Chain A
């Protein structure tokens, strides 16, 4: 399965979760996009550190 296909499945799961009470109306589409980009980066670059991934995910310094 290529990274694009994985990211598509991941996005679908994110949206499913966003319907649940815990995550409902908590995140913006921009944040969803950022999370998807971070996921694709993690799949394509196994050597990425968790600190960098955190920064990609949140947009803040770890």
Chain B
């Protein structure tokens, strides 16, 4: 990218439209203090980035005093095409590509402007007056971020951070899986497969013996079949009897005999005969209280009316003269009546409350009566059922006793059947235990498999994260190695190394290299300027598109010898870099031979 022309209007001290021809490899802009050199340097940066070169300022600060807005236009060559970009301090921007003699508007992309961020433009192409001070006060972390921005490795660093998070995720998963693996124990569960096999075999033998017995012995005779039927009937009667007895125990809770319940029911029924009387009494009390309330209201109204006549000479209705003594007597009389009625009403209210309570208790008693009646009926039914079941049971017992005793074959079969039932129960228990054992064993196997999988995933994530870290190291190191060598060579050419040339490590020193073991902050003004300039130049070579260098008063702090070396150094950068140099040092400016010169003192 090469700059060709700068146009400013209403920017800083440039109120009118000013155009500056920047064609050529070296442009020397000479001007005394306050002649607008720094304004032009800022204008170039503003045109490219839309930002202000000095930190902390916003674009409107670039506009001339009292101007609504300032405009900067920059003409440049990029990838064999010519472009111009116009930007106003209000935020409007327009990029155009030259098409013969006409300009056509185009979008801002890598084809129209080098794909550099504002930091890369700032560090790669500009050295402005306050920059060194700003750089020195930055904390190491900010300088580290700046280095990463300059190298354009933010995406790689972000990827590194992501892979570190993935590794953490894999470790967490492994921890969870290991925890589950350790928590799963057999806890007394044992492999019962051998016992199970033995039990199944024993049961099979029993079943076979029973089968053989049934096949070899004749079928059960009529007595046998009858016995089985009666035994079933006896068992059913026994079940009914037991159930009825259990239900009766629940019904008779609180009573030892049915007569007690009957007696209580009778008492309750007798008490409930008083319920009608109590209800009538309640109604009477309520009526009495209402009547007394009405009387009280009348007496109070009368009393109020008589009190209203106090102090009047004549009656307001009939205009007859009034005697104050009579009025006072009437007031006293009605007050006495009022108190009497009030007392009576209170007594009536107390009686009403008592009667209401009695009615409530009798209502509760009525509920109890229903419950007792139901229990009484259920008791009767259950006793009848129990008597019937007992009778039936006795019948079946008698009938079974009358039958002939069991034959030896039947006895043997019954014994075998009982033995088989025991074996079946034992087998069922063994199967249950074995199932539990198998389930737990499967869980443990599954947890082991899962733990193996997550351990492999953790190793994979570590492999990837470690490789990303090495990639970052390699990419950053590869970029910086060349820059470090260039800085060292530059410092050597300026004669800044007092001892043997030392290695510059921008990454390790976080962009703030030492000089002969002295920190950048402790260097003299000239040493700082030279070191910083060489650092910028070296870093700018890592950024494709940063092909020009705008230097604002670079000779500040430099003595005659250093200025000559700076001149040689800058001349050595040509024509690789286009240099636009702003200076108030006429002697320094005149040291360059083939240069386009712009003298701001003539504007």
Contacts and interface: CB of A to CB of B under 8 A. Distances in A.
Interface of A: 1, 3, 6, 9-10, 13-14, 16-18, 22-23, 26-27, 31, 35, 38-39, 42-44, 46, 48, 50-51, 53-54, 57-58, 60, 62
B459 A50 contact: no
Interface residues of B, number: 28
Given A43-B155, A50-B165, A54-B170, A13 B474 contact: yes
A60 B165 contact: no
A51 B468 contact: no
Given A6-B475, A39-B468, A58-B457, A17 B166 contact: no
A17 B155 CA distance: 22
A27 B170 contact: no
A42 B467 contact: no
A9 B474 contact: yes
A24 B137 CA distance: 47
16 contacts: A6-B471, A13-B467, A17-B470, A23-B463, A26-B459, A26-B463, A27-B460, A35-B463, A39-B163, A39-B468, A44-B155, A50-B166, A53-B166, A57-B457, A57-B460, A58-B457
Given A1-B475, A17-B466, A17-B470, A53 B163 contact: yes
A10 B468 CA distance: 6
| The 4 nearest A-B residue pairs measured at CB | A42-B159, A50-B165, A13-B470, A13-B467
A9 B165 contact: no
Nearest to A60: B457
Given A1-B156, A26-B459, A50-B169, 5 more contacts: A10-B467, A38-B464, A39-B467, A42-B162, A57-B457
B210 to A, nearest CB: 56
A56 B218 CA distance: 77
B474 A58 contact: no
B460 A9 contact: no
A57 B475 CA distance: 22
B433 to A, nearest CB: 36
A29 to B, nearest CB: 13
A9 B464 contact: no
Contacts of B166: 50, 53-54, 57
Contacts of A26: 456, 459, 463
